[in-house]
Chains A and B, each alone.
Chain A
Amino acid sequence: MSAEAISENRAKSDFWQGVRLSLPVVVAAAPFGLLFGALAVDNGFSVLEAFLMSAMVFGGASQMVGIELFGQHVAPWLIVLSIFAVNFRHVLYSAGIGRRIAHWPPVQQAVGYFLLTDPQFAVAERKAETGETVGFAWYMGLGLPVYVFWVTESALGAVFGRLIPDTHALGIDFLLPIYFLGLVMGFRKRPLWLPVVVASAAASIIAYKTVGSPWHVSIGAVAGVLLAVILPPHHSGVEARP
């Protein structure tokens, strides 16, 4: 086999390894894709608009907030600002993942940042943590199925939205918190994990009760990150490296 064929095979197996890791994400997000489509039409979006929003924004929670405000006839600039606020946590993901994908060509990086969702960041960050390289093929294997299913489900939900049965009995509204807890637990071996989780949990709950949603996400996140910055470096394990 030529060197080229070998590297192509490696990219293929990396891609499929990523696809396997995307399965829980696809399952957890599926009800929300359908739900988003159904709610979007319910709030005055056309099927095409629901499809376009999922294809272009690709951020579940922010899309839900967006259509909810749209249905309440809130001023357009305020809707856009709310979408920005809900998605603001990605700034932190972006700063973190940049270290892992800096070796990609710029165009691949630009595509990579488009797919940077909560699970995408968490799973890629865990791979990097074990010392493995985060490759483009692997990253696409992880991100593309989530994207394709999300967009497809949004369109399906928009067309067939009224057919979704009792979502509460099926537990659909609480699947994402369970999934996110799994992601949090995945980082429990990191230095400062427990203090950061406690600080973020407390700050986000207080902010949720006082300032309100969606700001509790950014406020809670900043609290946990600040704690890690403020504590002396020998606690955070970053100075131990050569």
Chain B
Amino acid sequence: MSTTLWIIIAGAIATYLTRIGGHLVISRFENIHPRVEAGLNAVPAAVLTTLVAPAALGAGPAEWAALIVAGLVSLRGGLMAMFLAGAAVLVLARQFVG
């Protein structure tokens, strides 16, 4: 087998371990401590924020405008509406600021 194929297989196994690993560790405990539960409840906002914040900081006016509009739309509308609004602002703004 080629090296590339080995990399793909090993990468796939490593990835699956991250996807099932947290559950396998947590499920060993009978009772979940309230503080651990509070931590787990914070997971979505904590992780997803790290996928936005550095990208936003390194961006320019067009991207900031898109994020602000998308953020405002998300206060009222659904996910699809906020996403389309943000994408529309981004494409429009980039025609002017590049």
Contact = CB atoms under 8 A, between A and B. Distances in A.
Given A96-B22, A118-B48, A227-B42, A181 B14 contact: no
Given A98-B27, A182-B83, A186-B74, A176 B51 contact: yes
Contact of B40 (A52, A96, A174, A216): A96
A213 B53 CA distance: 13
Contacts, number: 286
Contact of B21 (A62, A94, A208, A225): A94
A94 B19 contact: yes
Contacts of B66: 171, 174, 178
B52 A184 contact: yes
B70 A95 contact: no
A23 B83 CA distance: 11
A45 interface: yes
Nearest to B4: A49
Interface string B41-67: 111111111111111110100010011
Contacts of A91: 18, 21-22, 25
A57 interface: yes
A: contact size bracket: 35 or more
A201 B6 CA distance: 36
Contact of B74 (A70, A96, A185, A226): A185
A186 B79 contact: yes
A80 B11 contact: yes
B14 A87 contact: yes
B51 A177 contact: yes
B53 A62 contact: no
Interface in A36-81: 44-46, 49, 52-53, 56-59, 62, 66, 70, 76, 79-81
Nearest to A240: B34
B56 to A, nearest CB: 6
Given A90-B19, A122-B44, A56 B67 contact: no
Given A24-B79, A76-B6, A171 B49 contact: no
Contact of B15 (A27, A90, A98, A121): A90
B67 to A, nearest CB: 6
The listed residue with most B CB atoms (<10 A of its CB), out of A88, A176, A229, A239, is A229
Contact of A217 (B5, B50, B71): B50
B43 A80 contact: no
B26 A179 contact: no
A177 B70 CA distance: 11
Contact of B22 (A23, A98, A110): A98
The listed residue with most A CB atoms (<10 A of its CB), out of B37, B45, B55, B67, is B45
Nearest to A218: B50
Contacts of B50: 89, 200-201, 203-204, 216-217, 219-221
A203 B26 CA distance: 25
Interface stretch (A134-142, A152-160, A187-195): A187-195
* CB-CB nearest 3 A-B residue pairs: A224-B46, A94-B22, A95-B22
